[in-house]
Amino acid sequence: MIFRPPIPSNHLLSKETMSEWYVYMVRCSDESLYTGITKDVERRIEEHNGGGLSGARYTRARRPVRLVCREIMNSRSEAAKREFEIKRLSKEEKEALVMRSNQ
């Protein structure tokens, strides 16, 4: 399930707001969840699973990872704020978010 917040009618569309940013969650091989932001989810998952250093330090030791949730945001700022919100959730709340996104 992909969630797209509405753009307020009085909001001016800048170059940044017209580009889509994603907040994503992956499940690691140890069943932990990792949350990040990107403009290209598929590329980022490949980076997390690749052999190089472009994946996050956390996921490098927990490969392979698989995408379990993503949300579309209107700007990098919105994506970073949502990422921060998700990272503050408990494990149970994150699991519930994943379950809701898969319905």
Model confidence pLDDT, tens digit, residues 79-88: 999 999 999 9
The fourth-level CATH superfamily of domain 19-101 is GIY-YIG endonuclease (3.40.1440.10)
Domain coordinates in residue numbering, the chain: 19-101
Q: How confident is the model at residue 16, as a pLDDT?
A: 46
CA separation, residue 98 to residues 7, 71, 103 (Å): 24, 11, 9
- The answer on pLDDT for 71 being more than 70 is yes
- Token reading at 92: 């149970």
Quote the pTM value: 0.79
What phi and psi, each to the nearest 5 degrees, are found at residue 53? -100, 5
Model confidence pLDDT, tens digit, residues 31-47: 999 999 999 999 999 99
